[in-house]
Structure formats: C-alpha cells, structure tokens
Amino acid sequence: MPANARTPAISQPASARLLRRFAAMVYDSLLLMALALAYGALVTWLNVLLQGAPAEGERVDWGLWRLPVFMGMLVVLAGFFCFFWRRSGQTLGMRAWRLKLVDQDSLALPSLKQCILRVVLAPVSLLCLGLGYFWHWLDPQKHTFHGRMSRTRVVLTPKEKH
C-alpha cells in the first residue's frame, strides 16, 4: 500500500450554488439599503449645515458636490463588502446562508486587492443579464466570472453542531 493511501485526502469545500448566493444577496441588499439611507441622511445633514435649509418644497442643491457624494456612496457600499470579506469572509447574508468567500487557491480569507476586484466586477456580472453569474454552470470548477477574475470563490460552510 503506498504511503499516501493511508493519509486521508483533504476535501475541497463545495462551491456554493447560485440560488443560495442570490438568497444571500437579497439579505445583504436590505443591509445595503439601510447603509445607503444612513449615508444619504449624513451627507444631506452636512449639506444643509453648510448651505442652509432649502425653501419649503425645494430640493437640496448639491451643486458641484453631486458627483463626489455619489462616488462616496459607491465607496461606502463597496467598503461594506470589503470589510466583511476581509474580516471573516462573510457578510450577514452570507452567514445566514452558510456561504464564505475564500481565496481560490489557499482557501484563506481573500486579500484586499481580491475583494476590491470582486466588488467592482460582481455588479458588471449582474448587469450583463446575470451572465457573469450563470458562467458558474459552464465553468468546470463552478466559478463565476467575477470569482475567476478575482481568484476567489464562494464555498458552502458546514452546518454548526449544537
């Protein structure tokens, strides 16, 4: 009997199925809406503090700040994912559905560079009629487009024993 036959092979965790991923995205979208509302309230309060309140029935005038405020919103939303992926590999929605983002080679937590690349490419995958996600069905290793490009993968974690 060969020496390596006695040592059990370490099994790779299962790649998460798309339906489970989409369910986690619904959970996370609720958190993102709350985060976006909080951000919007904060920047609106700052704008009113600096420029004064608009007249009754008038809109808040953003002037030249419109684009920086919008870019700030994108940074806050992307930061949400990067923070949680770097911290534990899971957002709250991913935790609820037992999903975890890992480096595709080492199964360790992804690097900041990987997180940023993934958070930039995932919306592109979704906006192209979901084709970047449906790539999962064609890829031999069950990667999505943005997962393959960022060298990350979403795996199913085992159930916790109580």
Q: What is the pLDDT of residues 46-92, one digit of tens each?
A: 999 988 888 888 888 888 999 999 999 999 999 999 999 999 999 99
CB 35 within 8 A of CB 80: yes
* Helix pair 112-127, 66-87: axis angle to 10 deg: 120
Find, among 108, 18, 46, 36, the residue nearest to 72 by Cα. 36
Please give the tally of structural domains in the chain: 1
Task: Report the distance separating Cα 42 and Cα 45, nearest Å.
Answer: 5
74 located within any domain? yes
33 located within any domain? yes
Q: Which residue has the higher pLDDT, 4 or 26?
A: 26
User: How much is the average pLDDT of 20-47?
Assistant: 96
Q: N- to C-terminal Cα distance for the chain?
A: 39
92 located within any domain? yes
In this prediction, residue 59 carries a pLDDT of 87
3 located within any domain? no
1 located within any domain? no
100 located within any domain? yes
In angstroms, how far apart are the furthest CA atoms of the chain? 85
Q: Which domain holds residue 113?
A: 13-156
In this prediction, residue 61 carries a pLDDT of 84
Which stretches of the chain are assigned E, i.e. beta strand? Answer: 99-103, 152-156
Angle at 73 between CA 91 and CA 21, to 5 degrees: 30
List pLDDT tens digits, range 108-118.
999 999 999 99
User: String of b and e for 13-35 (b: at least 16 CB within 10 Å)?
Assistant: eebbebeebebbbebbeeebeeb
pLDDT band at 161 (very low <50, low <70, confident <90, very high): confident
57 located within any domain? yes
User: What is the pTM (predicted TM-score) of this model?
Assistant: 0.85
CB 156 within 8 A of CB 16: yes
In one-letter notation, the amino acid at residue 51 is: Q
What is the average pLDDT score of the chain? 91
Contacts of residue 138, defined as CB under 8 A and 6 or more positions apart, other chains included, come to none
110 located within any domain? yes
Please name every residue paired with 156 in a beta bridge, in sequence order, or none if there are none. 99
Task: Report the distance separating Cα 136 and Cα 84, nearest Å.
Answer: 23
